[in-house]
Structure 1
């Protein structure tokens, strides 16, 4: 097949030398040695990323226990998801740099009505493979259209061969299982020389690990690739190490029934460890993300449905290509953002136990081996200081969403000179919880240091006026009003602090309001600690702000 990048500009090796103006784009283009692969998609560990996974939907018609929290997840408004045009633009940009394999994921991608048209446009890019990962429920109806649009690889997620157990895992009726099975049977009839079919099964101890050999038996007469996936920790799935069945445990289980279960040779950038039983037409693979990571040969990048680039499935580092595109970024600017993110990719993920503690999107909002989810929307890039420590979960935020960090990941003070001068107001709150004795002493004004509430009120006002000295990147603001109100809550034995800050300026005053509330709370702690240290400061939060580009009000 014709190389998708034949007409692309020469791919130049990146250099560690800093350009005079600090431009990362120029840095990538400085050296004139032509590489066989894009410098933008080659990380500092030499890994070349030619495989892009694009999530096109956060919605799903299943509620699998390992994927989605029982209470569900807040979905991104449709206006903030990538449009079909944006999806195609991103894919075309990556294809111009050497990506030749694209997989469409979700949520459940088949819920997106314009998916066939998106795939048609991907097909025009002369990619070697266009894959889709689906739960299979809508596959019986949509498979013919997907094939005609250009799909060449189909992964179907199915975790049990028992309809009743399907209900327990997916929180959906057994009838849905039969729809999935019908889709599998239809896909089996496709020409194996043109199309690949894989079944993804997330194995969980005590849930479906007793079906491992039943899945393997499917490979006897069916040209299908069964892929067992180790249970992975993601936000909201209540990950438990006891549920994690390792690759080696699965192999041992299979060899008790099939002693001649043979290991096959894996390509260097493999995702799954491949096995076959002699005489079977299909094969078996194991995705060993937890017990034996395959980070050294990782060639995959991910785009979330809301347009964030994730360089690692298990990292919480993200950069918003959506925001950059909607701010008018050129393709070269997008390539610069992508190159920066790829360069920050760690040599390996943080490890099973550390991953379980990290904040990351729930599985369904990422788009990994199964349909994966999201738990937070702030975009992040890995901290440069942690590049040599793959186990560190620390990260910093990118300039595409947070303006206090530039495109190189360095802190900067925001230029607000082009913003309009408006009257801005913000209200923040904090709570100080006290013991019974301490609360009564404050209420009766019997503390040895004096009137706690009055001193804390004054301290809060002073704190607001010194915000720019305390918070490094805050602009000094001419405060027109600072009001700190302290209320005694006798039922909860706490002091509730509410601080208001007001200005007429080019930037907002939420930091001033938050600082006022916090300093007032700390002052109460200082004045009361002699009676005991069982004092807690909680619920420091912005209640509302107005007057800027967008107003905000905390939902109670």
Structure 2
């Protein structure tokens, strides 16, 4: 009862009672009767990670700052939606915690009458540092993205260090009383589906809600049905370890199917957007960082609320625009295969499921490549045109042969012929690149199993690519006289070619420094080839690794090199 409370609290109670009695806002109710009481607002397109799963390989073009929503515009839209019945706002990105005014925005939203929940989705890199401020400002719920519990794999996925910062942020959230702390993990075959049980084990001692998300298609993520691990498959795998896994009652508008291992402190859930959509109970709307309203995460229809705001539209006019967009919302999304063909923004520009995993060319190349073997120079051209190489990388330099810049003397020996590291202190700092290749002749049996991804050890192409990149980064530890180099970029591809039953491994490395990266590129293809051999050796010992060679290098003092044969 509200009686006996101070006047302000009585007024709040009356408002809440009226909200329960009066019809829900017609502007936020669609043609199928769904009431949209949950709003996700992307605060920024920027991020302090460079995740392979959040951006297409070629990167994204960020919206000019002047076209992004200002602080006041964000708050104006939040007030409008809350007045119409929105009870929960989630702040997303990009990475929302890098927006300088994020605490101010949260504190102002906290003042909105009728807003019950403020949530935030973050990659966790800055979380431990800003968490006290978030708590004070009024954040109720936290979702933290974490797609691997293996530090090296985490670094491979996000192209930055920071695994331990994310773990620190999760622990800090638990320590400060957030219960549960939600951990989002997008599961992809060949990358992290082997960590399912490890993630579930996290819920034993901590109040975590680990949510496994089915891999979904967006622009630039090269979605492949075969890479999706379905809810049914994940659940079956977990039940083999914990057969007494019990379902939990769910929220009517919730996205996750919830479970708990009896006796565990936390719980787990599955977000089944692809295999078992929950469109019928969807109550979510999204506003992108540049002010576009999206009524469906998988829809490519958007309307700019920013433009109407800046043209002086009244609240009533804005509501008419919002109501028209909500009214056009379809009964359900188009299905996994259809939406994979639709034009839509990359995830980082939508502000959808934070930390949402997106496939790069980790594997599955055998499904997209032509059957006939292509000339090596053609493969090289395609490698550089399709890969997520550095922005200033010149394909023309690679495809044009310069004069031979080799020396008549060995450079890694001193006057007495003893091994000696080259002094590069007087060399200029330049952007240097190198590309190398190797052939792995697998034979028909191993080739067929790799192509069908049916090896008992798992996805051979994904393992080979990961091993190659890790090898490039460890070159100075493996080759005694190599200088340790900070790599700006390293990419490895493995192309299956039917003719000859072989795999062509290519690697490109780049650094900005005083010495080149040809050894890093050569090490990458060698280690990738060895990893592929190791994955296949159980089914065939008649595997040959051959033709390891440098294809090109650019940026050195001796001039560029391009192999012509």
TM-score above 0.5: yes
Tell me the equivalent position of 1:218: 202
Q: CA deviation at 1:370?
A: 1.7
Q: CA deviation at 1:371?
A: 4.7
Quick check: 1:277 aligned with 2:261? yes
**CA–CA distance in 1 between the matches of 2:48 and 2:276?**
32
Tell me the equivalent position of 2:41: 54
Quick check: 1:139 aligned with 2:127? yes
Q: Mapping of 1:190-209 within 5 angstroms?
A: 190-192=176-178, 195-209=179-193
Choose which of 73, 80, 88 in structure 2 pairs with 1:86. 73
Q: Mapping of 1:184-195 within 5 angstroms?
A: 184-192=170-178, 195=179
Choose which of 153, 157, 160 in structure 2 pairs with 1:172. 160
Q: CA deviation at 1:190?
A: 2.3
Choose which of 315, 338, 360 in structure 2 pairs with 1:354. 338
8 Å Cα contact 1:316/1:360 also seen in 2: yes
SS where residue 322 of structure 2 aligns? helix
More helix by share: 2
**CA–CA distance in 1 between the matches of 2:22 and 2:73?**
28
Tell me the equivalent position of 1:329: 313
TM-score by length of 2: 0.59
Choose which of 39, 45, 52 in structure 2 pairs with 1:65. 52
**CA–CA distance in 2 between the matches of 1:350 and 1:74?**
27
SS where residue 118 of structure 1 aligns? helix
Q: CA deviation at 1:70?
A: 2.3
Change (3 A) 1:113 1:255: same
What are the superposed Cα offsets for residues 197-216 of structure 1, whole Å, 9 maximum, x if unpaired? 10000101010000001000
Q: Mapping of 1:302-341 within 5 angstroms?
A: 302-341=286-325
**CA–CA distance in 2 between the matches of 1:372 and 1:117?**
26
Q: Mapping of 1:471-482 within 5 angstroms?
A: none
Q: CA deviation at 1:165?
A: 0.4
TM-score by length of 1: 0.60
Q: CA deviation at 1:272?
A: 0.5
**CA–CA distance in 1 between the matches of 2:34 and 2:290?**
26
**CA–CA distance in 1 between the matches of 2:335 and 2:276?**
10
Choose which of 152, 158, 168 in structure 1 pairs with 2:146. 158
8 Å Cα contact 2:215/2:357 also seen in 1: no
Choose which of 215, 234, 247 in structure 2 pairs with 1:231. 215
**CA–CA distance in 2 between the matches of 1:4 and 1:271?**
29
Q: Mapping of 1:5-154 within 5 angstroms?
A: 35-126=22-113, 127-154=115-142
Change (3 A) 1:35 1:344: farther
**CA–CA distance in 1 between the matches of 2:294 and 2:306?**
13
Tell me the equivalent position of 1:429: none
8 Å Cα contact 1:152/1:196 also seen in 2: no
8 Å Cα contact 2:39/2:90 also seen in 1: yes
Change (3 A) 1:255 1:196: closer
- State which drifts further: 35-44 or 179-188: 35-44
8 Å Cα contact 1:134/1:155 also seen in 2: yes
Q: CA deviation at 1:168?
A: 1.6
SS where residue 357 of structure 1 aligns? coil
What are the superposed Cα offsets for residues 137-189 of structure 1, whole Å, 9 maximum, x if unpaired? 0111111111111101000000000100001211223xx11111111110011
Q: CA deviation at 1:85?
A: 0.3
**CA–CA distance in 1 between the matches of 2:192 and 2:82?**
39
Q: CA deviation at 1:69?
A: 1.3
Q: Mapping of 1:220-299 within 5 angstroms?
A: 220-299=204-283
**Contiguous gaps of at least 5 residues in structure 2:** 1-8, 359-565
Change (3 A) 1:352 1:370: same
What are the superposed Cα offsets for residues 212-267 of structure 1, whole Å, 9 maximum, x if unpaired? 01000011110110000101101011111111000011001101111111111222
**CA–CA distance in 2 between the matches of 1:283 and 1:36?**
35
What are the superposed Cα offsets for residues 392-412 of structure 1, whole Å, 9 maximum, x if unpaired? xxxxxxxxxxxxxxxxxxxxx
**CA–CA distance in 1 between the matches of 2:199 and 2:14?**
42
**CA–CA distance in 2 between the matches of 1:100 and 1:214?**
35
**CA–CA distance in 1 between the matches of 2:215 and 2:99?**
27
8 Å Cα contact 1:227/1:272 also seen in 2: yes
Change (3 A) 1:46 1:4: farther
Q: CA deviation at 1:71?
A: 2.2
Tell me the equivalent position of 1:181: 167
Q: How many residues align?
A: 348
**CA–CA distance in 2 between the matches of 1:181 and 1:74?**
30
Which structure's relative contact order is higher, taking Cα pairs within 8 Å and 6+ residues apart?
Answer: 2
Q: CA deviation at 1:65?
A: 2.0
8 Å Cα contact 2:187/2:357 also seen in 1: no
8 Å Cα contact 2:300/2:344 also seen in 1: yes
**Contiguous gaps of at least 5 residues in structure 1:** 12-33, 375-556
8 Å Cα contact 1:188/1:222 also seen in 2: yes
